[in-house]
Structure 1
């Protein structure tokens, strides 16, 4: 049975290593948010670096998730001291369950505060696509799909909640058009 891959990407207002309260607050809430999401129905896995060091995204060993990659429009730092981004790559069983997990609870609270922490880039900040059940998506896959979404709009290859597709490529319906990221 196909699995749903989700890649998210945001440009932070300040580097992860920045000691200011807002940066610390964002980083600290991330662990709790992922803890809740990992217990949600439909959640399968997410990319985790072997070392898990704060800000060392580019140098980290991501195992089966591949080498860390970012969209071409990211123009900030790539060292632990200068990296100013947040990215996730995860697998889900079902679009409806992913929507329910992401738009409720602690993650919803964090989404409501996203503009405290993230720049408005004018680019989509997430993308979905279907993968076979034996496939682990790579960071490069997520970047490629997000860039495709930004350049060409939603399609079975790369889509969003409101403009989603079933594994067979037919349009799927979500409960409303309010989920635009």
Structure 2
């Protein structure tokens, strides 16, 4: 089975550079969670700055992951001081490993607190799609798929845990990934 790409995107209530305790807490928790997920079975790779440096998401060299772009609904800053977003782009062996990594442990605890940090915008916060073997998805791919999901709902081109598709485009399950689902990739 080809790998699955996962793009996540959220608009933060305050810029990442904000020294307020809640922003620092999000940043610190995020670092620990990302480290843990990177070690999870089924995680293949994730977008990282090519030079390992941090700065503005928009000015960072992401190497094969491409230029950093955001969905059309992002309307906040684009500098180190004003950027108010969190985005990830990763590759997984399947939905089950991604589900297990996201809905357990530290990340689950962080998800339970997401509205402390993120604005409620009415847009999807993540999207999956199948990627051919050997292909590195780009930030633009992620944005395009997330916007497609928002406009058209789950399709073989862009889907969620609960309404997912197999690489051949057939629905992969009836009730989604989880303890009561009938099939898991």
Q: Deviations over 1:17-62 (max 9, x none)?
A: 00000000001111110111011110001001134325x1000000
Q: Deviations over 1:124-154 (max 9, x none)?
A: 0100000011100000000000000000110
Structure 2 CA distance for aligned equivalents of residues 86 and 70 of structure 1: 10
- Confirm whether residue 20 of structure 1 aligns to residue 11 of structure 2: no
Give the TM-score normalised by the residue count of structure 1.
Answer: 0.94
RMSD: 1.1
Gap regions ≥5 residues in structure 1: none
Write out the 4+ residue segments of structure 1 that deviate beyond 6 Å after TM superposition: none
Q: Give the count of matched residue pairs.
A: 176
Structure 2 CA distance for aligned equivalents of residues 59 and 28 of structure 1: 22
Structure 2 CA distance for aligned equivalents of residues 34 and 77 of structure 1: 23
Structure 1 CA distance for aligned equivalents of residues 65 and 165 of structure 2: 23
Give the TM-score normalised by the residue count of structure 2.
Answer: 0.92
Gap regions ≥5 residues in structure 2: none
Structure 1 CA distance for aligned equivalents of residues 82 and 39 of structure 2: 32
Structure 2 CA distance for aligned equivalents of residues 101 and 52 of structure 1: 26
